[in-house]
């Protein structure tokens, strides 16, 4: 009988700490609901004490998402733990995740505490958390660089105090797989009481070894892996959920371990997280990258055509990547459109279907055939967005090598038509200045990324934009169109709608 490995997803906490990522509550809930469909065991929804926004995000996930444990992070002090419980108390399965560093380098330079003081603080934190919920996780930050004997003392003490999961992180991504596996085995052999709790690992990817270290850990007895979708996170990121899960799935004869993950939801989860965080997935990314299942070499193509397993160790449909013989274009009807969305695994309401179908028809007029990737982009733009205060009515651009770029833009602002014109250093700059004149708002550009959704000269342009407001909050917007300039304008309008939505939300809190 295979043993179970629990998947602890920290996309909404450690993943959101990626530079330039800022999710509003609506976006956090969209990701959390998809993580529940993916069937992760634990969703770490945030760090409630960090900010009012983080608190409300954790609280919203705890209230609305069912069938999964919801965790909130807390430092090992009373204020953090009390705040975490306040956010988590309505969760179906609440978990308080408290932590303190145990390495001498952290004790001396960051905490400025003695080993004994840290041990006592850890025990007090677990006891306080245990007073709120039966499910308490303790993390020894920078565990891998800690003295193993001291670490075992700390873990034994927090287990005696009531911790049900103990996490052994490689916080700075320093470990090598062989030594990290041996480290986990040593702790399991020398920490009294550890056989009665779940041993977890949380590996960072600074040396590109987070997944390898996580798999080495489970080979040596760890039974929970903390990871993020697409491997996002601070610095070089975390262990990628999809790689850990598919590593165990594909090599199950080696590990004899299973997860509860619904693998066919992996690709959709990856796409959603990439869209809402504004962090593109690299083309050669394992499992979910654009090139992960493409074969260009003639030898490879010949082999795959004769027998898929010659060059594919994973069938793309296993992770939710599907292809259809159904060709969609401007003459396609609503039924075919809905059917293909269903085949792709998207569940949409009638209202969402109507919005997406209108956008599909608009794009089909300028593009002969609409591919699956186009459909995904359309859904990202239409059904995963906040309510529209601003809507793009039209955009006219005058530009050339001997012409000063000029944009004329028509916007609907709460249904009222506004038109403005502006010049810029280029056509995109002119369009953005026209939008700013029409709305009276101006934001600082953080990043502008353009990608072709599919190949060909008629490919849809996908523009991902990040802007910073006056309070240094970063917002991500996305625009899709067969015209690059229109896609750019749509991305800016999308950001402005998010800013208005956040302002309204804060006023009603």
Do 297 and 330 lie in one domain? The reply is no
CATH number at 395 reads 3.30.160.270
Of the three residues 366, 382, 398, the one that is the final residue of a domain is 382
Residue 475 predicted with pLDDT over 50: yes
pLDDT tens, residue by residue, 361-420: 888 887 767 777 788 778 777 766 778 899 999 999 999 989 999 999 999 999 999 999
Per-residue pLDDT averaged across 273-298, rounded? 84
Please tell me the distance from the alpha carbon of residue 61 to that of residue 39, in angstroms, as a whole number: 15
Per-residue pLDDT averaged across 417-441, rounded? 95
- With respect to residue 284, please indicate whether it lies within any of the assigned structural domains: no
pLDDT tens, residue by residue, 114-128: 999 999 999 999 999
Please tell me the distance from the alpha carbon of residue 231 to that of residue 239, in angstroms, as a whole number: 5
User: Cβ neighbours of residue 387 under 8 Å, at least 6 residues apart?
Assistant: 497, 501
- With respect to residue 285, please indicate whether it lies within any of the assigned structural domains: no
pLDDT tens, residue by residue, 138-180: 999 999 999 999 999 999 999 999 999 999 999 999 999 999 9
Residue 290 predicted with pLDDT over 90: no
- With respect to residue 155, please indicate whether it lies within any of the assigned structural domains: yes
CB-neighbour burial class of residue 416 (10 A; exposed 0-12, middle 13-18, buried 19+): exposed
pLDDT at 1: 41
Do 217 and 334 lie in one domain? The reply is no
- With respect to residue 164, please indicate whether it lies within any of the assigned structural domains: yes
Number of domains in the chain: 4
Closest CA to 202 of 2, 14, 70: 14
Do 330 and 306 lie in one domain? The reply is no
Do 252 and 357 lie in one domain? The reply is no
Do 238 and 144 lie in one domain? The reply is yes
Do 317 and 445 lie in one domain? The reply is no
pLDDT at 470: 86
pLDDT at 372: 77
Do 252 and 328 lie in one domain? The reply is no
pLDDT tens, residue by residue, 66-100: 999 999 999 999 999 999 999 999 999 999 999 99
Mean pLDDT of the chain: 91
Do 301 and 355 lie in one domain? The reply is no
> Picking from 146-150, 277-281, 295-299, which range would have the lowest pLDDT averaged per residue?
295-299
Residues of the domain holding 338: 322-382
CB-neighbour burial class of residue 472 (10 A; exposed 0-12, middle 13-18, buried 19+): exposed
- With respect to residue 83, please indicate whether it lies within any of the assigned structural domains: yes
* 481 vs 366, more confident: 481
Do 301 and 441 lie in one domain? The reply is no
pLDDT at 304: 57
Do 139 and 167 lie in one domain? The reply is yes
CA distances from 367 to 341, 372, 394, 415, 459 (A): 19, 13, 19, 29, 7
Max mean pLDDT range (145-149, 300-304, 317-321, 376-380): 145-149
- With respect to residue 283, please indicate whether it lies within any of the assigned structural domains: no
pLDDT tens, residue by residue, 186-203: 999 999 999 999 999 999
- With respect to residue 122, please indicate whether it lies within any of the assigned structural domains: yes
- With respect to residue 206, please indicate whether it lies within any of the assigned structural domains: yes
Secondary element (H or E) of residue 392: strand 390-400
Per-residue pLDDT averaged across 40-51, rounded? 97
Do 47 and 175 lie in one domain? The reply is yes
Do 56 and 104 lie in one domain? The reply is yes
């Amino acid at each position: 009988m295979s043993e179970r490995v629990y998947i602890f997803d920290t996309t909404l906490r450690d993943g959101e700490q990626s530079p330039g990522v800022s999710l509003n509550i609506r976006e956090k809930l969209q990701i959390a609901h998809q993580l529940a469909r993916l069937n992760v065991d634990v969703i770490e929804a945030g760090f409630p004490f960090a900010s009012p926004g983080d608190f409300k995000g954790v609280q919203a996930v705890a209230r609305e998402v069912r069938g999964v444990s919801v965790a909130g992070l807390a430092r090992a002090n009373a204020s953090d733990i009390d705040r975490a419980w306040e956010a988590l108390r309505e969760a179906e399965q609440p978990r308080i995740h408290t932590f303190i560093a145990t390495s001498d380098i952290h004790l001396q330079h960051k905490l400025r505490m003695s080993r004994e003081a840290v041990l006592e603080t850890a025990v007090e934190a677990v006891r306080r958390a245990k007073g709120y919920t039966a499910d308490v996780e303790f993390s020894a930050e920078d565990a891998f660089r800690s003295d193993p004997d001291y670490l075992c003392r700390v873990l034994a003490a927090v287990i005696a105090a009531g911790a049900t999961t103990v996490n052994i992180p490689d916080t700075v991504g320093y470990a090598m797989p062989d030594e990290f596996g041996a480290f986990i085995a040593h702790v399991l052999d020398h920490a009294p009481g550890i056989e009665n709790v779940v041993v977890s690992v949380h590996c960072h990817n600074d040396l590109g070894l987070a997944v390898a270290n996580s798999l080495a850990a489970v080979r040596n007895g760890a039974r929970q892996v903390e990871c993020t979708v697409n491997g996002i996170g601070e610095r070089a990121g975390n262990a990628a959920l999809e790689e850990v899960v598919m590593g165990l799935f594909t090599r199950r004869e080696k590990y004899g371990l299973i997860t509860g993950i619904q693998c066919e939801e992996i690709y959709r989860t990856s796409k959603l997280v990439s869209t809402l965080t504004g962090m593109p997935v690299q083309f050669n990314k394992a499992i979910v990258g654009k090139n992960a299942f493409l074969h260009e070499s003639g030898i490879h193509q010949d082999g795959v055509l004769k027998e898929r397993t010659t060059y594919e160790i994973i069938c793309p449909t296993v992770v939710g990547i599907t292809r259809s013989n159904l060709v969609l274009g401007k003459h396609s009807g609503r039924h075919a459109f809905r059917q293909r969305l269903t085949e792709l695994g998207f569940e949409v309401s009638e209202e969402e279907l109507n919005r997406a179908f209108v956008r599909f028809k608009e794009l089909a007029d300028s593009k002969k055939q609409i591919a699956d990737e186009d459909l995904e982009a359309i859904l990202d733009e239409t059904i995963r967005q906040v309510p529209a205060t601003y809507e793009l009515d039209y955009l006219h651009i005058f530009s050339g090598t001997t012409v000063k770029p000029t944009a004329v833009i028509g916007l609907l602002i709460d249904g009222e038509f506004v038109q403005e014109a502006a010049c810029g250093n280029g056509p995109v700059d002119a369009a953005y200045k026209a939008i700013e004149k029409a709305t009276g708002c101006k934001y600082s550009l953080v990043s502008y990324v353009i990608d072709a959704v599919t190949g060909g000269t008629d490919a849809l342009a996908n523009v991902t934009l990040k802007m910073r407001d006056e309070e240094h909050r970063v917002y991500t917007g996305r625009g899709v169109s067969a015209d690059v300039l229109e896609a750019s304008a749509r991305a800016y309008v999308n950001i402005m709608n998010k800013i208005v939505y956040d302002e309204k939300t804060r006023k009603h809190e």
